[in-house]
Structure 1
């Protein structure tokens, strides 16, 4: 049986860094760095998601 583990990380842009620059950094620099670790540690899936300031998002409080 394969054991699965889920890890959620919330990251923020550096002050003064634009949204496009942040997205470019995460996809072109950070992503490739993480890719080498996926095979090494048997990670089967890696997902990055981001929310930009133009997105209409409201937290739901239950």
Structure 2
């Protein structure tokens, strides 16, 4: 939390990160919905797709 309050931390940068995180979550949800439409047993695919999406978001937000 202190890192967010430091003078070096830009509020605009924070909101860009939040927006990109939301975008990637929405993208993951869309691909999951597509998988469920395509396959009835798409639950395993959806879970792996979601975890890959979350992992990618975390990695991109850390860099």
Same fold (TM over 0.5): no
Higher relative contact order (CA 8 A, sep 6+): 2
Which has the larger helix fraction? 2
Q: If the TM-score is normalised by the length of the shorter chain, which range does it land in?
A: 0.3 to 0.5
TM-score (norm 2): 0.40
